Amino acid sequence: MHTVWKGNLSFGLISIGIRIHSVIEDKDVKLIGIHKDCLVPIRYEKIAPGCEDGEVKPEDIVKAYEYSPNKYVVVSKEELDALKKEYEVQSVDIISFVQLEEIDPVYFDRSYFINAMEGSEKTYILLKQALERTGKIGIVKISLRNRQHLAIIRVHEDGLILETIHYPDEVRSITQVPNLPSEQEVTIQRKELVAATTLINELTVPFIPEDYTDEYRTALLDLIEEKIENEEVEVKPVINPKKVDLKNILDALNASIEQTKRINSAAKKKTAVKTKKETS
């Protein structure tokens, strides 16, 4: 499992060597854009509208903040690196302890497993058992992904977990939601509330995470697998001339022949499947 951060976690005068690993594994199905006729991936060029330099090179791009329409203040890489270095959290200190219930779930962001480095197993277990006994969670600050985060440390099953949380000024107030219904303006009959409460109780079950799946992702993967099995595979019909080595023209010709055979074979199978479906 990839280590996202490693360093020391301080608990009073106790120091625990830790590594943290991302809890979440991205399962999103990646689809790319290709040209429908040429069957090659689309490349997006970086340009500056109105600039005569054409495609912008990476070394010509700088960071800036737009403080008003079409007005920018440029921040150099050296200035950004200096700020990151100055405010980077090298060691994680538990600032305070609170009850988990005091933090609204809207504040939670990303989760990370915490593991102990060699030699820190005892202090790791000590903190875990102390948190279990008190029912508290620890508040910390940590630098991840080039920015400083507020986070909590809590017990999770057989170990500890770190969860980054949003700063208060990052969370909008529900009062900003337009046309939010008001309880003073809507009358709920007692029998309606009783019926709704009864329905909730009837639908209440223990939460088992494995009972819930991403049905769209599963259906998309099934569709892709079906297309592969039915030879509905798009194959690029031509070889990119830029990639042909002129010293190996014979190899390129032989490769072209084999590619053409595969394309023709796939096309024949596709036609046969289509004909079979139409006659059945």
pLDDT in tens, 176-204: 999 998 888 888 888 888 888 888 888 88
Q: Give pTM, 2 decimals.
A: 0.66
- The pLDDT assigned to 245 comes to 47
Q: Domain-by-domain residue ranges, the chain?
A: 5-24+85-170, 216-279
**CB-CB contact of 255 with 243 (8 Å):** no
Residue 215 confidence (pLDDT) above 90 = no
Q: Give bridge partners of residue 6 from the DSSP assignment.
A: 19
Residue 239 confidence (pLDDT) above 70 = no
| Tokens linked to 39 | 């069957």
How far is 259 from 67, CA to CA, in rounded Å? 55
| Tokens linked to 264 | 């023709």
- The pLDDT assigned to 279 comes to 63
| Tokens linked to 139 | 């508040």
Backbone phi, then psi, for 33, in 5-degree steps? -95, 130
Q: Give bridge partners of residue 116 from the DSSP assignment.
A: 18
- Average pLDDT, integer, range 87-98: 82
Question: Given 3.40.50.360, 2.40.290.10, 3.30.56.10, 1.10.3720.10, which CATH number is that of 5-24+85-170?
Answer: 2.40.290.10
Q: How confident is the model at residue 251 (pLDDT cuts 50, 70, 90)?
A: low
Query: Computed from CA positions of residues 64, 67, 72, 78, in that sequence, does the dihedral angle turn out positive or negative?
Result: negative
pLDDT in tens, 151-173: 999 999 999 999 999 999 999 99
3-state secondary structure of 255: helix
Residue 248 confidence (pLDDT) above 60 = no
